Structure 1
Amino acid sequence: MTCVAQFWNEENGSATVEWVVMTAASVAMGLAVMSYVSEGVENLSNDVRSALSGFEIMTSFDQWDDFRAQQAAEAAAAASEDAESQ
């Protein structure tokens, strides 16, 4: 038997070829999904960034006390507006 015929009839490498084809198909499917959803993910991340950009991170307890006092004043003002509207 010639080397070419022996190579053609050998089945040891066929599983490797199948795995290569399946892996390439999986990668192609992943790229297709990524291209399909990338715009939506980018828009969502921009929305999250703009929503979180107004938050201030407090770095000391003094700032926290000032913040709580401000929040209490705003809550009292909102409660008095609700009382007046009723």
Structure 2
Amino acid sequence: NPATVGLDPDRLLESVTGFRRDLSETEPNLGMFGSERDGGFRRIVASLEQSMFGETLYPSVEEKAANLLYFIVKDHPFSDGNKR
């Protein structure tokens, strides 16, 4: 039985903010990098908790991580985020 995990969009956005802060020490001109665009990131995180016929679509940590990355690349939820 694979491990399951719930995702908190606020905590994940805090991680992005921390990454931006750390990156700004060596890259001062980040512009809009890491800024959520139109709630797209929150929608992606919410989609990872979907179920169908009573079964969670992405039950394991690995499946959630893979789909999180896929949807970030596909849906561009951050302003200027897919250019770096």
TM-score interval for Structure 1 and Structure 2 normalised by the shorter chain? under 0.3
TM-score with structure 2 length normalisation?
0.25
TM-score with structure 1 length normalisation?
0.24
Q: Which protein has the larger Cα radius of gyration, Structure 1 or Structure 2?
A: 1
Q: Kindly indicate which of the two structures has a greater share of residues assigned to strand.
A: 2
Q: Kindly indicate which of the two structures has a greater share of residues assigned to helix.
A: 1
- Structure with higher RCO (Cα < 8 A, 6+ apart): 2
